[in-house]
Amino acid sequence: MGLAPDADAPEAFMDALVEHGLLVPGGAAGIVGRSAVFEDIRERFDAAVSRAAAGDGAERMSFPPVLPRRYLEDTGYLHSFPHLAGTVFAFEGGEQQGIDMASMADRHEDWTALQQASDLVLTPAVCYAVYPAVAARGPLPGGGVTIDPGGAFAFRHEPSGDPTRLRMFHMRELVRIGAPDEVAAWRAGWCDRALALLQRLGLQVRAEVANDPFFGRAGRMLARAQREQELKLELVVPIAGPRPTAVASLNLHREHFAAAHGLTLADGRTAHTACLGFGHERIVLALLRTHGLDPRGWPPGPRYELEMA
């Protein structure tokens, strides 16, 4: 099943996905509902990652899509990505203010001046809650730990009409915490495993050195340093638009998160951490784009890998 040539534009791809009932407009840029077919593919991919990860013996630890504001402060998140963070505000007023706020909302006036910052922010990446939770247990066991926070929602404040750039999307992460050489070896091994998994799904994928979308002028220097040290690898696949889209990333954080949260090895040294993140929705979109909008017509290879009957 082919898409019309003008579907190369991300917005045209979004229209095709909505027309075929795979996505449901959610009433705001970058917010979409997902159909049974879309969710079935997404969950099957998540299970395929679990099968590929079975040998890691990872400990599952699942967190909600909000976390303490303090965690963003401790990790310096706002130095790198102030433009992507979402913070949670709430109402702490009394009876009359509540009535005023509701009346303003009835008239679609701006009632948000009556909201105050809470102690929570939206989760910018699924692994952020993992590091302090593991640190709270004390020094790591020998050999470190691998944590599986599952497929969970993350938030990025970047409204657009591009289906590959949602504001709230599922990220399946795996997190490795341990000695520097263990962590680097884990990332290298997973780069091969993740590439092989996406190739078995019939995707035209390649790995490349990448950088995060750091904010502002200082961000350009951070990006250059990140590339020079090859701290971020991305697996990219053509989906829509002129350039391929990152569908997974493998990140070496060195001591960044461990120092922020006091994660230490058994011998007292600061641990290293790394994470692998698959972008669930982007992978489903890559599959739909590559093999057609109806999974019943997909080739045997990807269907076998996803255990489709």
| Residue 141 makes contact with a copy of itself by CB under 8 A | no
| Residue 118 makes contact with a copy of itself by CB under 8 A | yes
Q: How far is CA 249 from CA 95, 233, 236, 246, 267, in A?
A: 48, 6, 9, 7, 30
168-207 residues near a copy of itself, rule: CB under 8 A: 168-169
Number of residues that bind a copy of itself (CB under 8 A): 76
Quick note: the x/- pattern for a copy of itself over 48-87, rule CB under 8 A, is -----------xxxxxxxxxxxxxxx--xxxx--xx-xxx
| Residue 287 makes contact with a copy of itself by CB under 8 A | no
| Residue 105 makes contact with a copy of itself by CB under 8 A | yes
Helix (H) or strand (E) holding 101: helix 95-106
Helix (H) or strand (E) holding 252: strand 245-254
Q: Which stretch binds a copy of itself (CB under 8 A): 6-14, 155-163, 180-188, 291-299?
A: 155-163
3-state secondary structure of 68: strand
Cα 201 from chain centroid (whole Å) = 20
Report the nearest approach of a copy of itself to the CB of residue 242 (Å): 27
Phi, psi of 255 (to 5 degrees): -95, 5
14-33 residues near a copy of itself, rule: CB under 8 A: 24-29, 31-33
Check: CB of residue 209 under 8 Å from CB of residue 246. Answer: no
Helix (H) or strand (E) holding 276: strand 272-279
Quick note: the x/- pattern for a copy of itself over 230-269, rule CB under 8 A, is ----------------------------------------
Report the nearest approach of a copy of itself to the CB of residue 225 (Å): 17
Q: Name the token pair of 130.
A: 């993992």
